[in-house]
Structure 1
Amino acid sequence: MDIKPTESELEILQVIWKMGQCTVRDVHEELTKTKDAGYTTTLKLMQIMHDKGLVERDTTAKTHLYKALFSQEQAQSNALNKILSTVFKGSTSDLVIQALGQHRASADEIDAIKNFLNQFDQHKK
């Protein structure tokens, strides 16, 4: 599945992933905590997302419920694969070095990375 949400659609998806399923009002209220967003804009974006196949809409009740058609992990994987192949020409090491060089990882994150690499290394043996 080729997942191509816009930045605004990703903001909406973050809310939907967090809540599981929600109404336009739920999403709008969550978005307005961090940015200026109009209700009709949120509604229109969610209708477009439905048309694009990013979300499904349950219309059995008076208030429509929206649910993402793919997980956050699927979206992350899709975006990472695209960046890896286009920006880093397939070089995983360049991507990781750039990411760690540009953004300071916490001690917990470094430990998690080390643990992952150790597990990965053991699977190769």
Structure 2
Amino acid sequence: MTNAAPPKPTASELEMLRLLFTLGPSTAKQVHAAALETRPDMNYATVLRLLQVMHTKGLLTRDESQRAHVYAPAQKQESVQTSLLTELIQKAFSGSGKALVLAALRGGHVTPQERDEIQALLDQEK
């Protein structure tokens, strides 16, 4: 068995991961209920199938000890985010973290409160 990292999640899989990071270990029914809050068109069968595929790909773990299987992310949220961010920096910003940060700051993706938090973090690092 290899220690290869799980594959990069698709957009739909990333949506399921975000829900599971918020909910914690959950059944397909619980994930479906949470998904309905932002995607009223999402049906239960789609959620269940996505969770099953994600388990097969190694993105999720599955506890089969109960009748309703409980799914959880196979990696911590920070690990998934770091992996995706590293890929984004390499592909879109030629490996420059500075370019990514400047694009976020200039593009209106950072609120004034977030700017203050970032500045405080930078000041701490000095």
The question of a shared fold, defined as TM-score above 0.5 by the shorter chain, is answered with yes
Give how far 1:103 is off: 2.1
> What SS is found at the alignment partner of 1:103?
coil
Contact 1:3/1:75 (8 A) holds in 2? no
Distance in 2, matches of 1:100 and 1:10, equals 24
TM-score norm. by structure 2 comes to 0.89
Contact 2:28/2:51 (8 A) holds in 1? yes
The answer for the alignment partner of 1:27 in structure 2 is 31
Q: Which runs of 4+ in 1 moved over 6 A?
A: none
Distance 1:104 1:15, change over 3 A: closer
> Which one of 47, 68, 75 corresponds to residue 63 of structure 1?
68
TM-score norm. by structure 1 comes to 0.90
Give how far 1:104 is off: 4.4
1:57-95 CA-partner distances (Å, limit 9, x unpaired): 111111111111111111111111001111111112211
The answer for the alignment partner of 1:97 in structure 2 is 102
Contact 2:6/2:59 (8 A) holds in 1? no
Give how far 1:105 is off: 2.3
Contact 1:3/1:78 (8 A) holds in 2? no
| 2:25 counterpart of 1:15 | no
Distance in 1, matches of 2:109 and 2:57, equals 36
> Which one of 116, 121, 126 corresponds to residue 111 of structure 1?
116
Contact 2:89/2:96 (8 A) holds in 1? yes
> What SS is found at the alignment partner of 2:71?
strand
Give how far 1:2 is off: 4.8
Question: Percent identity, aligned pairs only?
Answer: 36
Root-mean-square deviation over aligned CA pairs:
1.3
- List gaps (5 residues or longer) in structure 2: none
Distance in 2, matches of 1:97 and 1:15, equals 29
- List gaps (5 residues or longer) in structure 1: none
Distance in 1, matches of 2:23 and 2:105, equals 30
Aligned residues: 121
